[in-house]
A and B are shown apart, each in its own frame.
Chain A
Amino acid sequence: MAEKLIFYILAVITLWASVMVITRKNPVHSVLFLVLAFVTSAGLWVLLEAEFLGIVLILVYVGAVMVLFLFVVMMLDIDLATIRAGFVQNLPLAGLIAAIMAVEILLIVGPGNFGLDAFPKPEPLGAEVSNTRELGLLLYSVYIYPVEIAAVILLLAIVAAIRLTLRRRPDTKFIDPAQQVRVRKGPDRVRLVKMAAEDVAPVVDKGDAQ
């Protein structure tokens, strides 16, 4: 009973937050509503006794991916007027595509394939069953190839991220403080050299003579 109540509360918040994500004008607010949707989805997963997945959803999506989203959204100069320029013009086409996609989604995840008949509610697990251990036992024995392939994909992501975003800026007036600190007294500093005054011929002021 309490479980059902919590489910409905979380589900309603998830749906509300998702709607807010696409209707807010301020992109930062949208991202924060997306964070809320992720948090409540994690709650729904925990209700299905998938504690590892639920908490990893928080750790990876909320704790990492959304932080990147926030960085991007906060720092980009988004001109809302230009984005909204063709809104009415494109509405019919966009609406059509959205409708087609909605039908597609319904066909795939609709009650025919999913729903409680195809996937009955799992038996409640005992308190001693550790989700994470079970997952580890499977991942690192049966599914070892997919895991290693995942490593390769992550490697690809590292390389791609660096190729795309790392660039030396020629105009930056950057001084490495570590090098500054390491300057030694003798050879690296500007030296003052003592030298004899040069012999300059005395200036004869002709004005005085007059």
Chain B
Amino acid sequence: MLDNYLPILIFILVGILVGVGPLVLGYLLGPRRPDSEKDSPYECGFAAFESARLKFDVRYYLVAILFIIFDLEIAFLFPWAVALGELGLFAFWAMVVFLGILVVGFIYEWKKGALEWE
């Protein structure tokens, strides 16, 4: 089994190299003429004001938390989906209960307006 993962490891390393290579080439071949106006953050021609690292609506955190929960659900669904053919109807009803419980949470989200974007 591990033999199959060796190419993956190498592929990831090569992928990183494909990212590094052009940057290095660009750094070597391109000019470097820093200028305070050129290097200032782009703000439609105005001088930048305030810090660029703004605070964000708490809604973004909520979306991220809900994402984690649904991602975990998917992690539970993967083994189920693969084993379903052998386990048959029992596993099907087990998943109906599992998803049923989570659909309750989904409906709660929906009704509370956590999915509205304003």
B:60-80 near A, CB below 8 Å:
60-62, 64-69, 71-76, 78-80
Q: Do the beta carbons of A139 and B64 come within 8 Å of each other? A: no
Q: Which residues of A contact B72 (CB under 8 A)?
A: 60, 64, 154
Residues 124-140 of A, flagged 1 when their CB comes within 8 A of B and 0 if not, give 11110110110111011
Does A75 lie at the interface of the complex (its beta carbon under 8 Å from any beta carbon of B)? Answer: yes
- Contact B101 A151, beta carbon cutoff 8 Å: yes
A45-63 interface mask toward B, CB cutoff 8 Å, 1 = contact, 0 = none? 0110101100010011001
A22 within 8 A of partner (CB) = no
Nearest CB of A to B60, in Å = 6
Given contacts A47-B2, A68-B61, A71-B60, 6 further A-B contacts (CB under 8 A): A51-B1, A136-B87, A141-B91, A147-B76, A155-B105, A166-B62
The size class of the interface chain A forms with chain B is: 35 or more
B55 touches A75 (CB 8 A): yes
Known: A59-B75, A68-B64, A124-B2. A154 touches B102 (CB 8 A): yes
Whether the pair A67, B9 counts as a contact (CB closer than 8 A) is: no
Q: Are A155 and B102 in contact (CB under 8 A)?
A: yes
Q: Residues of A at under 8 Å CB distance from B?
A: 2-3, 6, 43, 46-47, 49, 51-52, 56, 59-60, 63-65, 67-68, 71-72, 74-77, 124-127, 129-130, 132-133, 135-137, 139-141, 144, 147-148, 150-152, 154-155, 157-159, 161-162, 165-167, 172, 174, 176
Kindly list chain A residues whose C-beta atoms are within 8 Å of the C-beta of B37.
Answer: none
CA distance A165 to B60 in the complex (A): 10
Q: Looking at the complex, which of B24-32, B42-50, B109-117 is the stretch in contact with chain A?
A: B109-117
C-alpha spacing A135/B80, complex, angstroms: 8
Contact flag A137-B3 (CB < 8 Å), given A155-B104, A162-B62, A166-B112: no
- In the complex, what residues of A have CB within 8 A of residue B80's CB? 136, 139-140
Total interface residues on B, CB under 8 Å, equals: 54
Q: Which residues of A contact B69 (CB under 8 A)?
A: 154, 157-158, 161
Smallest Cβ-Cβ distance to B106: which chain A residue = A158
Smallest CB separation, B55 vs chain A (Å): 6
B35 proximal to A (CB < 8 A): no
State in angstroms the CA–CA spacing of A144 and B104 once bound together: 19
User: CA separation between A67 and B66, bound complex, in Å?
Assistant: 12
Q: How far is the CA of A26 from the CA of B81 in the complex (A)?
A: 42
List the 6 shortest-distance A-B pairs measured between CB atoms, nearest first: A136-B83, A136-B79, A158-B105, A68-B64, A151-B101, A161-B65
